Amino acid sequence: MTIKIDPIYQERYLNLLSAVIKQLRIPQTINRLVPYDEQCLTTPGDAVHLMLLDILSGRQALVHLEGWAAEVDLEKLLSSGAGAHHFNDDALGRHLDWIHDGNVHQIYSQLVVGAFQKEDIWSLHVFHGDTTSNPSTVSTRTRKKIF
């Protein structure tokens, strides 16, 4: 069963999702941690921002992401001035390679800790990541309950 979302509704929730991604500083954190070629017209943070929006709106294959990006208001969503043609599958592949080279586990950890601190989900006193099993397993001690 395939559900197609009308573009007018898609634009509304994409703006909200994009604002949350910007508020959590996901693109800036990725750009800070990932070594990339400054001559590129897009950044790894922009690529991840666009891929997150795509995943949360129905998930296109990377080869089709450029076409999907042409249907949305990229200037409003990304604020980088990049056009849809800058997000072809070759460019996205390069960015994903750079993210992998930049230690994806460290990037993920920085994003999670940054989001928890930004949203004041916990007071961070003890932080332990168990890397022997699942890289996202985290143990903490908090002063207040998370939920």
Helix (H, G, I), strand (E, B) or coil at 127: strand
Give exposure, 105-121, as e/b (b: 16+ Cβ within 10 Å). Answer: eebebbbebebbeeeee
Distance of CA 137 to the CA centre of its chain: 20
Integer-rounded Cα Rg, in Å, for the chain is: 17
Q: Is the pLDDT of residue 25 over 70?
A: yes
Nearest to 130 by CA among 140, 120, 118, 142: 140
Question: Is the pLDDT assigned to residue 31 strictly greater than 90?
Answer: yes
Query: pLDDT tens digits for 49-97?
Result: 999 999 988 877 888 889 988 888 888 888 777 888 899 989 999 999 9
Domain ranges of the chain: 7-102
How large a percentage of the chain has pLDDT more than 90? 29
Residues 109, 58, 54, 26: is their CA dihedral positive or negative?
Answer: negative
pLDDT at 105 over 50: yes
Rounded to whole angstroms, how far apart are CA atoms 50 and 98? 16
- Considering only CA atoms, which of 55, 90, 86, 53 is closest in space to residue 72? 53
pTM here is 0.74
Q: Which of 9-23, 61-75, 125-139 has the highest mean pLDDT?
A: 61-75
Residue 146: predicted pLDDT: 47
- Cβ-in-10-Å burial (0-12, 13-18, 19+) of 82 comes to buried
Question: Residues of 127-136 as b/e, b for ≥16 C-beta within 10 angstroms?
Answer: eebeeeeeee
